[in-house]
């Protein structure tokens, strides 16, 4: 036990606990202006984090190589079953079918996919003798593409887009047909540019309805997604409707100034200019930024930086290739969520329903992120052991 504690990744653990504490405090502040049922959601977050901490420590002090070998395929298959079930019998809310009873299968699928890919490509010499190149690429495309497709069908495009960079990072680190991955990324960027250009041409001022409809026929987005892209491209076009959330989010962040207005004194949130429906979830960063200001925002980003770099360090010292791949995927997953959530709050990317790790309200997401970091902690703890 002394040796295990000596290898304990304290920066990872401390930054995670600090972020959970900040999240609970911010949820408490944001929930104060909502109906009574939401006033104690911060306590629910703390209770969930205690359960998550038990899972974290259990995974941390267990040898990750054992449960990778034993459970990689079963948990991956289980996540696929859950994703199919949510489409069949899931609960529909806010235009999507994302809930199965009391949890979100799409959140559970993220670490399950990373564990499966890390196990498969971490044992590349055994499963793919020699350089697997195109064979490995096809396998990875099927393994990651199937759950991503099921998530998109919910629809939950934001979650699928958050998983994509983590999968790509794992495959690049594994050496899976890197030229092909670069080409695929280039094609994806061109496709995204084409979609943005099409929406711009359809929604720019002066375009008649007939031309708009003709252009949007070729855009593979749902109407609400087109509105989000339009808000991103023309943030001033409809500030009282589709652009309202973004306008208030920017005002909240900007009004915080250097040091903020103080805890519980965020006027944009308290006066409900920042819609209560999103203040505890997608736009919770705005509440923190208004209350704690620029310096508080820097502190938050620094904690996320420590968290991601701790995952990178775990990858560097990992005892085997499986651990290295998973830690790289976990670091990328954290970065993707943080970047997209904060960037959408200030208008750098289109608005999408993607939570801020450990800060946004969401029990399933909190437990799955703590579980993923528990595996990263196990990779750190068992780094000096011989496989």
Q: Assess if residue 386 is contained within a domain.
A: no
Q: Assess if residue 94 is contained within a domain.
A: yes
Q: What is the pLDDT of residue 109?
A: 94
Q: What is the pLDDT of residue 386?
A: 42
Q: Assess if residue 182 is contained within a domain.
A: yes
- CB atoms inside a 10 Å sphere around CB 341: 25
Q: Assess if residue 387 is contained within a domain.
A: no
Q: What is the pLDDT of residue 3?
A: 63
Residues of the chain with pLDDT under 50: 386-387
**Cβ distance 9 to 380 under 8 Å?**
yes
Please give the Cα distance from 215 to 210 (Å, whole number).
Answer: 9
Q: What is the pLDDT of residue 242?
A: 63
Q: What is the pLDDT of residue 387?
A: 42
Closest of 157, 116, 109 to residue 326, by C-alpha: 116
Q: What is the pLDDT of residue 155?
A: 78
Range of the domain at 192: 2-381
Number of domains in the chain: 1
* Single pTM value for the model: 0.91
Q: Assess if residue 134 is contained within a domain.
A: yes
Q: Assess if residue 293 is contained within a domain.
A: yes
Residue indicated by tokens 């993607």:
354
Please give the Cα distance from 359 to 357 (Å, whole number).
Answer: 5
Q: Assess if residue 218 is contained within a domain.
A: yes
Q: What is the pLDDT of residue 380?
A: 95
| Close Cβ partners of 346 (under 8 Å, ≥ 6 residues apart) | 249, 250, 253
């Amino acid at each position: 036990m002394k040796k295990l504690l000596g290898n304990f990744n304290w920066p990872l653990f401390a930054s995670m606990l600090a972020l959970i504490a900040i999240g609970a405090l911010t949820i408490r502040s944001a929930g104060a202006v909502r109906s009574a049922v939401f006033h104690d959601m911060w306590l629910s977050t703390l209770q969930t984090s205690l359960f998550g901490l038990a899972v974290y420590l259990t995974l941390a002090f267990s040898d990750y190589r054992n449960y990778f070998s034993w459970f990689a395929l079963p948990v991956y298959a289980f996540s696929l079953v859950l994703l199919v079930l949510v489409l069949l019998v899931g609960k529909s809310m806010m235009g999507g079918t994302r809930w199965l009873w009391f949890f979100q299968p799409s959140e559970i699928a993220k670490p399950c996919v990373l564990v499966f890919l890390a196990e498969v490509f971490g044992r590349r010499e055994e499963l793919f003798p020699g350089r697997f190149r195109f064979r490995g690429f096809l396998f990875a495309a099927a393994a990651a593409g199937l759950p991503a497709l099921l998530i998109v069908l919910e629809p939950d495009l934001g979650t699928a887009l958050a998983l994509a960079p983590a999968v790509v990072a794992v495959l690049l680190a594994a050496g899976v047909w890197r030229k092909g991955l670069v080409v695929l990324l280039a094609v994806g960027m061109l496709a995204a540019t084409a979609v943005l250009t099409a929406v711009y041409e359809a929604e720019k001022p002066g375009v008649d309805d007939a031309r708009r409809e003709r252009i949007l026929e070729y855009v593979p987005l749902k109407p609400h997604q087109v509105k989000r892209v339009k808000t991103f491209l023309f943030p001033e076009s409809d500030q009282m409707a589709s652009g309202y959330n973004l306008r208030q989010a920017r005002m909240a962040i900007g009004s915080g100034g250097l040091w903020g207005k103080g805890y519980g004194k965020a006027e944009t949130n308290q006066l409900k200019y920042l819609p209560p429906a999103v203040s505890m979830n997608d736009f919770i960063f705005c509440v923190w930024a208004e209350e704690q200001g620029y310096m508080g925002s820097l502190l938050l980003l620094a904690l996320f930086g420590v968290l991601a770099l701790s995952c990178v360090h775990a990858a560097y010292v990992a005892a085997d290739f499986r651990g290295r791949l998973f830690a790289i995927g976990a670091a990328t997953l954290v970065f993707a969520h943080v970047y997209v959530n904060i960037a959408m709050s200030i208008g750098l990317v289109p608005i999408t329903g993607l939570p801020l790790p450990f800060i946004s309200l969401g029990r399933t997401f909190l437990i799955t992120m703590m579980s993923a970091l528990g595996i990263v902690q196990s990779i750190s703890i068992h780094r000096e052991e011989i496989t």
